[in-house]
Amino acid sequence: MNARQRGSDEMVIVGLGLCTPLGLTARTTQAEMAAGTVRFFETDVLDSTGEPVRASVLRLLEPSLSRSERMVPLAVTALQEALKDVDPPGVAELPLLLALPEPGSGAPFDLKAVREELNRAAAPVRLKVSRDALFHEGRAGFFRALAEATQLLKSRRAPWVLVGGVDSMCDRQSLAHHAQTGRTLGPGMPDGILPGEGAGFILLTSAEFSRQGRLKSRGRVLGCALSHEPHSFLQHKPNMAEGLTNAFRQLRLHPLTGARRVDHILSCQTGETFWAQEFNYAYLRNAALMPEPLTMSQIAESLGDAGAAAGAIQLGSALHLLGRLEKVSEEPVRILVYGCADAGQVGTCIIEGDT
């Protein structure tokens, strides 16, 4: 593949918005994550041992709010930031592909309310959201949305695509659900999660359209890969990491990656033993793709389990990390981001800088 063909297939990120318990903007969230800041608080929900459940909570939101009422302001804040610096010329409609919570991951939420508020926040641009553009796949959903977005751009069915993810497991009903199922980290569960929340959006266009519009690139999506784990977390069977192994293999053989190693890995996982073992198996089977020496960061270290928002947040973190690593690299830096849902969906992508 020559340079011209390669450039025409790359997807350029021209807008970013994040809203998390670490900050209401991408810049703040990125800086706080890079600094290792954590904001885990005790909630008024008790686990099975009578201890308060700890969670990564945006304290500006009242504890009494429902899951939907927490997701809406998170999503609206991130969406408005993603669109504020880029004015898509002559665009009346903007396709939106959105990652949403997995079924059974907590309290139900009002999808209609989320969509209506996002449309109001995007005005005067109208968001075009079809049923096929909503991915209820938790941590893997953002990567599924990103893969669909790249196909839209490559086929020239749209010059711009908005991709996002939003989730909250910090409402009382969701916190109680995780506590009752023994999933929350605490004295009685040393291998559990810290529930989190957040939202993130990126605005994508093709490399060709970016050059024509003289838009500033924040980074490029070289490739996405999707797979499925037949022995998922929910099945309580030994995980042989078939899904993640396959997704990493697809990236390793992708025509745009050129068989180069990535410089860092960002995981959307929770830190539970299941996910650590899964990564170890997949890493060893795809060692030629991995950083040498291995360097890796988990979102759980800063934000707990951010669910469907994790992919977008980690991609935002990747863009920040690109800038830092490019100062000491002679070639474009590459970062691999991946996420696996409890039900078995797997998603990955590689982001590259512009150096």
Classify domain 3-212 by CATH number: 3.40.47.10
Question: Could you give the residue range(s) of every CATH 3.40.47.10 domain in the chain?
Answer: 3-212, 219-352
What pLDDT is recorded for position 90?
Answer: 60
- How long is the chain? 355
Q: 15-64, pLDDT tens digit by residue?
A: 999 999 999 999 999 999 999 999 999 999 999 999 999 999 999 999 99
Q: What pTM was estimated for this model as a whole? A: 0.95
CA–CA dist 67, 113 (Å, integer): 11
Write the secondary structure of 183-250 as one string of H (helix), E (strand) and C (coil). CECECCECCCECECEEEEEEEEEEHHHHHHCCCCCCEEEEEEEEEECCCCHHHCCCCCCHHHHHHHHH
Residue range 155-172: mean pLDDT, rounded: 94
Q: What angle do CA 220, 100, 228 make, to 5 degrees?
A: 75
For tokens 């037949």, what's the residue? 230
Nearest to 275 by CA among 235, 244, 303, 296: 244
Name the CATH topology of 219-352. Answer: Peroxisomal Thiolase; Chain A, domain 1 (3.40.47)
Q: 192-241, pLDDT tens digit by residue?
A: 999 999 999 999 998 776 766 667 889 999 999 999 999 999 987 888 99
What pLDDT is recorded for position 324?
Answer: 87
Which ranges constitute the DSSP H helices of 46-126? 67-84, 111-122
